[in-house]
Structure 1
Amino acid sequence: MTEDNDAASRYRAPALEKGLDIIELLASSPSPLSLTAIASTLGRSMGEIYRIALALEARGYIRRDRDSDYFVLTLRLFELAHENPPTNRLLSVALPLMEELATLSQQSCHLAVLSGARVLIVAQVDAPRPMHYAVRLGAQFPLAETSSGAVMLAYQPEHHRQALIDACIASTPEMADTLPERIKTILVDGGERRPSLVVSGVTNLTRPVFDHRGGVAAALTVPFLDQTGLSVDADQAETAVAATALKISAALGWREERQSNHLAV
């Protein structure tokens, strides 16, 4: 046994690990799961899972449907993330500017952050029009499936960026031929404008938001839905997204000259 493995063995917390396993499983599941399904998927006995699930339910991290006895993840973790000071700062700065952007562009807009190898929507503002496309607050997506994820990926420090690219390609091998070039294009263009990979008729207009250290803190996106009667076209909306992202970045303390060389392709 190596020294690292020995240390990991000494400091293991089995009950905590089981709880995290349950949370991560429910987070990745598209539908509620029974305790039997949870235990089977995790390779655990019902006895191991039962008390942990009850404790998570009592603390509000998971919820049980009283009719089916199936469990789902609650938004408790999402709420905790919003109580984190950096997230609070980001949202307090971004939301008023996003309201202005939605009015100016006549489109909805959303703000996303990285959550591991996924994208998490932490803020969303509806368009002022009766018909619009919007992404649900709290929704999560695979990193390279969205323009938000691709833009944040592009602006990661080089070593972290490559690790994330490798992970994306490992899970979706067909991206091997397109993702590296997509990243290069984003860095040249300063963001991404492309048809949505998942919703027909929507064009994503995305720009990075930087923090005071010059690192990417979030990505701001207008999912542009062309409609009759719009007085704003996609070019004008894209300009508004870029300006708003710069305003949010500046309010977070970002200065262009602080961007580090690690963003080089």
Structure 2
Amino acid sequence: MSDSETESDAERYRAPALDKGLDILELLAGVDGGLTQAEIAKRLKRSPNEFYRMLDRLVRRGYVTRLEGDRYSLTLKLFGLAQLHAPVRRLVSYATPLMRELAEKSLQANQLVVFDRGAAVVIAQQEAPGYWGISIRVGSHISLFDTGSGHVLLAFRPQPEREMMIAEQVRDVDIPKPVNEFFARLDQVRERGYEMMSSLQTAGVYNLSAPVLGADGRAIAALTVPYITLVNAPGAPDITRTIQLILETAEKLSHLAGSDVAQALLSASGPP
């Protein structure tokens, strides 16, 4: 198919109103505190009048809320819809008691991450039992390239799937260069069975990540502990023991999740 035919098809199936609504939702999803109608229009390079009716409909349908000062902010309705996805709900239900046990034994927070339609998404998290711990909000989107969870999700997939997952994510983030070294790192993670790396977001934190595997050895999720050294916690497991606890928990969850959940999640995130 020629470029002109592709462009012609793109024009033929345009849905301007739908695109406008999706542009608003995607913009607000990345902003704290909301935006005014004028700010939305400026960021999307459109006239403010173009968005009045669309914002009104999004507010009435519950996807957007209007704050003081005529600012618009995303509600949790989209997140709630995402949680209706049955395989994710089942995986979280299996994981919750195991993640709680892991937090109690390790004295660290932990989270569960899946790859879903172009993004690594936190679907569950467990706070540390003590005063200190690093946690990430459920629903957060994180990078495949510079996080332990992202590395594990990529490492335990065949190379063609890795490339497809990366192609879906490469909209806001560039692939690490040189790319061959990045893929070699993923192979090392797979061979070792887990990832251990200094956090590239928070100083003094180590990302410890292990895969939750389907029956075919492909990662359906990553279980991650953002490890911090606890100074005033006698008996707290060191980093080596914490890795072992993560591996044990991930293995239990792999067994509990079963092939039905695994296959459903894998089908949603990429071809078998």
Bin of the TM-score, shorter chain as denominator length: 0.7 to 0.9
Paired with 2:225 and 2:164, the residues of 1 have a C-alpha distance of 28
Q: Structure 1 117/179 Cα, relative in aligned 2: closer, same or farther at 3 Å?
A: farther
What secondary structure does 1:145 align onto?
A: coil
Question: What does residue 184 of structure 1 align with?
Answer: 187
Paired with 2:178 and 2:32, the residues of 1 have a C-alpha distance of 26
Letter in 2 for 1:242: L
What secondary structure does 2:258 align onto?
A: coil
Question: What does residue 241 of structure 2 align with?
Answer: 236
- Where structure 2 has 5 or more consecutive residues not aligned to the other structure, the ranges are 264-272
Contact 2:21 2:54 in 1 (8 A): yes
Letter in 2 for 1:99: R
Question: What does residue 252 of structure 1 align with?
Answer: 257
Q: Aligned pairs, how many?
A: 255
The C-alpha deviation readout for 1:127-179, integer Å capped at 9, x for no partner, is 11122222222222232231111211222342231244466598346643653
- The two structures have a TM-score, normalised by structure 1, of 0.85
The C-alpha deviation readout for 1:106-129, integer Å capped at 9, x for no partner, is 111111122444322111111111
Contact 1:117 1:143 in 2 (8 A): no
The C-alpha deviation readout for 1:190-245, integer Å capped at 9, x for no partner, is 22011111111111110111245643221101111111224211111111111111
Q: Structure 1 34/174 Cα, relative in aligned 2: closer, same or farther at 3 Å?
A: same
Paired with 1:239 and 1:147, the residues of 2 have a C-alpha distance of 16
Letter in 1 for 2:249: T
Paired with 1:245 and 1:106, the residues of 2 have a C-alpha distance of 17
- The two structures have a TM-score, normalised by structure 2, of 0.83
Contact 1:203 1:223 in 2 (8 A): yes
Q: Does 1:33 align with 2:31?
A: no
Paired with 1:188 and 1:25, the residues of 2 have a C-alpha distance of 39
Paired with 2:183 and 2:45, the residues of 1 have a C-alpha distance of 37
Question: What does residue 51 of structure 1 align with?
Answer: 53
Cα RMSD of the aligned pairs, angstroms, is: 2.6
Question: What does residue 134 of structure 2 align with?
Answer: 133
Q: Structure 1 179/62 Cα, relative in aligned 2: closer, same or farther at 3 Å?
A: farther
Q: Which of 200, 209, 220 is 2:203 aligned to?
A: 200
- Where structure 1 has 5 or more consecutive residues not aligned to the other structure, the ranges are 259-265
Paired with 1:19 and 1:165, the residues of 2 have a C-alpha distance of 26
Contact 1:214 1:254 in 2 (8 A): no
Residue correspondence of structure 1 range 106-185 to structure 2 within 5 A: 106-165=107-166, 171-172=173-174, 175-176=177-178, 178-185=181-188
The C-alpha deviation readout for 1:33-81, integer Å capped at 9, x for no partner, is 2211212222332232111111112222122212x21222222211111
What secondary structure does 1:19 align onto?
A: helix
What secondary structure does 1:209 align onto?
A: strand
Letter in 2 for 1:239: Q
Letter in 2 for 1:253: G
Contact 1:134 1:223 in 2 (8 A): yes
* Identical pairs, percent: 37
Q: Which of 217, 225, 229 is 1:226 aligned to?
A: 229
1:10 CA displacement: 3.7
Structure 1 runs of 4+ with >6 Å offset: none
What secondary structure does 1:12 align onto?
A: coil
Paired with 1:150 and 1:199, the residues of 2 have a C-alpha distance of 17
Q: Answer with 115-124 or 227-236: which moved more.
A: 115-124
Paired with 1:39 and 1:160, the residues of 2 have a C-alpha distance of 37
Paired with 1:54 and 1:212, the residues of 2 have a C-alpha distance of 47
What secondary structure does 1:104 align onto?
A: helix
Paired with 1:172 and 1:11, the residues of 2 have a C-alpha distance of 29
Question: What does residue 269 of structure 2 align with?
Answer: none
